[in-house]
Amino acid sequence: MTPRLTLINRDYTRLWVGQAVSSVGDAVFSTTLVLWVATVLAKDEPWAPLAVSGIVLASSVAVLVIGPLAGVFVDRWDKRATMLRSEVLRGALVAVLTAVAFLPADALPAGVWLALVYATVLLLHTAGQFFSPARFAVLADLVTGDADRARAAGIGQATGETAWIVGPPLAAPLLFGAGLQWALLFNGLTYAVSYAAIRSIRLPGPGPGPRTGPRTGPAAPDGPRRPAGRQGAGLRREFTDGLRFFAGSRFLVALLLLSVIGQFGIGALGTLNVFFATDNLHADARLYGYLGMAMGAGGIAGALVGGRVVQWLGARRTTWTALLVSGVLLVAYSRQSSFPGGVALLFAFTVPLTVLNTAMSPLLLAAAPPDYRGRVMAVFYPVTRLASMLSAALSGWLAGSVLRDAGGSLGGIRFGPVDTVIAASGLIVLLAGFYAMAALPRTEAAAGRDAGQDAGQDVPKTPPAPHPVSRPESR
């Protein structure tokens, strides 16, 4: 019997419920690890920023090493089975770390604890490289039609941001009140919920032709609408074809460079924000989760207004405008000294950041024909993650080593190592905005032509109208 309350359709609703719960678990897990490493394991240690940046680096290594090839394998495998196996593996990994976490913190050397944390994060994100493209393909089967897919994209983005409202405030009480192991166990249970939801969905049959037929877009240049791997082509050839397509598109290359600059600027915030909260905002570590909550609220606001802003300004103009505004707000955030002011500015900073995603995603989707989307993403995400990884490592190194003893004031404004690095990150985001003004095509129609014709592909002359889409998952 079909439930009364559904989002688009029954199977999509079940998948959404599982992912909503799992996203909250991810937010709790990520916040818990950052807090525990920064305030317990590496408390008062000069290498604490480097230790926190290692968490970001571990997740990034998985994207860089596994990500480029995962899309090709997922195209070959059963998508639903791939998702189920990924959830089993990730649940088992969290269960192992949870069991070890019942030991006192001083039972093992700090280096051993960090190795366990980094290894778990690395393997979790390795499995995620297979889960995310498989889920993307399953969504394409469950939701058809431009209007419903736009709705699904908006729901997914708003759900992800909501998770960051609910999750971080839960993490601090669980960690400091109940203990590390219970916060980890919470995330493990959310994987079980996700597994049950995925197992309950029913995918439509392939029908008379390949599932990647007309309803998902134009055929690959070789002719039949079937992934190259299923025609027996070698993995290396498939991967090389994807690289050649990406490199041949001036528009895709411009989007990639733009994202690299922006990610390089924003990446420092994930590493240093916990130290900025305690040192610059003079907040208790227990309040750190509310900064994540502010970002989640800003993300929801951005998701709600993003579609209208794109329709009003166009995807190109929205992209560079959002980058410029985000850069200014990040610099302003770096100058805050009170917790309420920091929360307010972090909320404001996340709104244009989410609108930016709403603008860039349709440009990227329009530039990638359906049979190349997995391989385009297999290039795009690892390279942008590399920029984030380098930013995390550089910011942790600068704040914890090179600029550790730096400080002073200028015009009555105090400067320290952490806020200086965050301010520099804001300036880099501004640089990305100016680059977008010069590099992106003047119209979305020109973007579609540049993306397809430069690479020699048969793509529609007019890409789909911009609409909110869910941001890439990094679980």
Digit-coded pLDDT (tens) for 123-134: 999 998 888 878
Question: Is the pLDDT confidence value at 3 over 50?
Answer: no
| pLDDT at 458 (0 to 100) | 36
Q: Say if residues 152 and 9 touch (Cβ distance below 8 Å).
A: no
pLDDT band at 461 (very low <50, low <70, confident <90, very high): very low
Output the average pLDDT for the chain.
76
Structure-token pair, residue 2: 């079909």
Query: Which tokens in the block code for residue 416?
Result: 């320290």
Comparison of pLDDT for 469 and 57, the residue scoring more: 57
CATH no., domain 8-203: 1.20.1250.20
Q: Please compute the mean of the pLDDT values over residues 72-85 and round it to a whole number.
A: 84
CA–CA distances in Å: residue 65 to residues 69, 86, 242, 258, 378: 8, 17, 16, 22, 10
Task: Please return the burial class of 247, using the count of CB atoms within 10 Å of its CB with bins 0-12, 13-18 and 19+.
Answer: middle
CA dist 41 and 36 (Å) reads 6
- For residue 217, name the pLDDT band (cuts at 50, 70, 90): very low
Cα 474 versus chain centre, distance: 5
Confidence at residue 209, expressed as pLDDT on a 0 to 100 scale = 38
CA–CA separation, 265 and 131 (whole Å)? 27
Superfamily classification of domain 241-469: MFS general substrate transporter like domains (1.20.1250.20)
Is a pLDDT exceeding 80 seen at residue 81?
Answer: yes
pLDDT tens for residues 159-174? Answer: 877 887 788 888 888 8
In this predicted structure, what is the pLDDT of residue 88? 95
- Please answer whether residues 190 and 47 qualify as being in contact, where contact means their C-beta atoms are separated by less than 8 angstroms: no
How long a stretch of residues is the chain? 475
Of 295 and 213, the one with more pLDDT: 295
Letter for the amino acid at 22?
S
What is the location of CATH 1.20.1250.20 in the chain?
8-203, 241-469
Contact (CB, 8 A) for 280 and 416:
yes
pLDDT band for position 468 (cuts 50, 70, 90)? very low
Among 36-45, 301-310, 327-336, name the one with the lowest average pLDDT. Answer: 301-310
Contact 276, 142 (CB under 8 A): no
Residues 6+ apart with CB under 8 A from 207: 213
DSSP state letters, 182-249: HHHHHHHHHHHHHHHHHHH--PPP-TTS-TTSGGG-PPPTTSSSS-GGGGT--HHHHHHHHHHHHHT-
Q: Which of 92-106, 125-139, 227-241, 268-282 has the highest mean pLDDT?
A: 92-106
Any idea which of 279-283, 307-311, 470-474 has the lowest mean pLDDT?
Answer: 470-474
Q: How far apart are the two ends of the chain, measured CA to CA in Å?
A: 32
At CA 132, angle to CA 262 and CA 11, rounded to 5?
Answer: 130
Please work out, in degrees rounded to the nearest 5, the angle formed at the alpha carbon of residue 414 by the alpha carbons of 333 and 55.
50
Q: What average pLDDT does range 438-458 have in this prediction?
A: 52
- In degrees, rounded to 5, the angle at the alpha carbon of residue 420 between the alpha carbons of residues 349 and 410 is 110
In this predicted structure, what is the pLDDT of residue 199? Answer: 92
Rounded CA separation 231/399 (Å): 51
pLDDT recorded at residue 358: 66
Number of Cβ within 10 Å of residue 178's Cβ equals 12
Rounded to an integer, the average pLDDT of 406-418 is 66
Of 128-142, 339-353, 358-372, 461-475, which one has max mean pLDDT?
Answer: 339-353
Q: Does residue 355 or residue 265 have the better pLDDT?
A: 355
pLDDT at residue 207 is higher than 50? no
- d(CA 376, CA 365) in angstroms, rounded, equals 10
